[in-house]
Structure 1
């Protein structure tokens, strides 16, 4: 089976999906969260330059077609400072807290 490749929404780099952070707009609740869930996804390189550009230019919001709450960016900056590009086993509780609903 061929590997699953994805593209960073900022720098357009193509790599295996495990090399990126995944940000998801859940269906049908329209909540934005990290890593898990079924819905519209955007992928971001775990680099400071990509994270800053994504926030400054609203690349994640445009890709997900929904506003991204500041809590999501805070969680990504925490991951960046911790040097982790993949989700630790206990991170699902933290992502659930940061999930917010977007009104249509």
Structure 2
């Protein structure tokens, strides 16, 4: 089976789908959420620089054609902090 490649909306890096976080604008409700659901998707690297740029320049919002709630960014920052603390141990 062919590998699935995706591109980070922030740094434009191409990599395997599993390397990125998936943000979804769910159809038909238009709700934006992390990881699950069917609808328009955007992918982002789980890195501080990518998340900062995406939040500052509204890159996720533009690629999803929807506004991304601040709570979703907070969830991503928490997940990033958790993964960084696990990698250090």
Question: 1:41-60, aligned counterparts within 5 Å?
Answer: 41-60=41-60
**RMSD over aligned Cα, in angstroms?**
0.8
Structure 2: segments with no counterpart, 5+ residues: 85-89
CA apart distance, 1:55: 0.2
Higher normalized contact order (CA 8 Å, seq sep 6+, divided by chain length)? 1
Per-residue displacement from partner, 1:40-72 (whole Å, max 9, x unpaired)? 000000000000000000000000000000000
Counterpart CA distance in 2 for 1:22 and 1:75 is 13
TM-score normalized by structure 2?
0.92
Shift of 1:33: 0.4
Show the 5 A alignment for 1:2-17.
2-17=2-17
Higher helix fraction (1 or 2): 2
Q: Which residue of 1 aligns with 2:63?
A: 63
What's the secondary structure of 2:2's corresponding residue? coil
Unaligned runs of 5+ in 1: 85-104
Question: Match of 1:83, SS?
Answer: helix
